Amino acid sequence: MASETEENKLVRNENESSELCSEPLFQRKEHELRILTSEEAEKLQNDTDFVSEFKQLKLEREAQKNWDLFYKRNSTNFFKDRHWTTREFEELKACREFEQQRLFILEAGCGVGNCLFPLLEEDPSLFVYACDFSPRAVDFVKKNPSYCAETCKAFQCDLTKDDLTDNIPANSVDVSTLIFVLSAVHPDRMHLVLQNICKVLKPGGCVLFRDYGLYDHAMLRFKSGSKLGENFYVRQDGTRSYFFTKDYLRCLFEKAGFEEVSNEYVLRETVNKKESLCVPRVFIQSKFCKPQKKC
């Protein structure tokens, strides 16, 4: 297996159960952005060395290949199960109109299913559609012992290009999760992902979103020469990451026809015992609904 890059360790550390990450010191929801130290602000300001247009076009063309290679290198070992999804997103249960109602969930950009399998474990009456544009990731999902055609349908799909209605009936999904996926998409194409999801959501259905927030420690760790654009960076393995502000995210969703329900920064501080480092993490956690009329 290729050695893990520093940025990748941070992605991995996002997950509280990772063995590389020691206990979080705190977690709190915030309206405002994290305040940078003067050193951090200076570092970001001085980083004006953008990746060439030629290389940027290549990264866009090879985005799918780079994620597929990521799963070839890491198989199912990289991200840990995201058990916090049900804990953090109580809405999954709350949106049932009656107790026996079967909820239809879409996990957009499912990876190897770290979110979907814990969800199904907690509530086997769900039906989960799961898609990703890495064929390897989708294969891992299908080979998971908990995968079963009665509760799950996994398929390969580029959310910026392939119409989700090819696999999911229009207006049929109660809740879509979008977890650390939109950050991997070029900012010029993010709206296409949201429009695509909107088509399969029921009127009143919602997107539960979690991703990197502006000034997350991972953003400050990028070396000069990794910058693709405003708040957009490339990792050593060719995968890309955008760091969101609440306003930017609200604008994106509203332009795609959604209404904001909640939209907050989640600030966490974790201590890396091995390196005696206190690491400030910034995530953004939000909920946007498709209006009762239509997008």
Applying CB under 6 A, the residues found at the interface with ligand SAM are: 67, 79, 82, 109-111, 114-115, 132-134, 137, 157-160, 179-181, 184-185
In the complex with ligand SAM, which residue's Cβ is closer, 160 or 172?
160
Nearest to 191 by CA among 149, 160, 155, 166: 160
In the complex with ligand SAM, which residue's Cβ is closer, 111 or 205?
111
* Nearest distance in Å: CB 187, ligand SAM: 13
* Nearest distance in Å: CB 70, ligand SAM: 7
In the complex with ligand SAM, which residue's Cβ is closer, 96 or 199?
199
- What is the sign, positive or negative, of the torsion defined by CA atoms of 178, 181, 186, 192? negative
* Nearest distance in Å: CB 275, ligand SAM: 23
* Nearest distance in Å: CB 132, ligand SAM: 5
Nearest to 114 by CA among 77, 149, 145: 77
Strand order in the sheet with 173-179: 24-30, 259-272, 277-289, 201-212, 173-179, 104-108, 127-132, 152-156
The residue whose Cβ lies closest to ligand SAM is: 111
In the complex with ligand SAM, which residue's Cβ is closer, 43 or 73?
73
Q: Cα separation of 101 and 130, whole Å? A: 20
In the complex with ligand SAM, which residue's Cβ is closer, 40 or 162?
162
* Nearest distance in Å: CB 68, ligand SAM: 7
Cβ neighbour number for residue 134 with a 10 Å cutoff = 23
In the complex with ligand SAM, which residue's Cβ is closer, 105 or 159?
159
* Nearest distance in Å: CB 30, ligand SAM: 22
Task: Name the one residue in this structure whose structure tokens are 């990451």.
Answer: 241
Task: Name the one residue in this structure whose structure tokens are 């349908």.
Answer: 153
Instruction: List b or e across 162-188, with b for residues whose CB sees 16 or more CB atoms inside 10 angstroms.
Output: eebeebbeeeebbbbbbbbbbbbbbbe
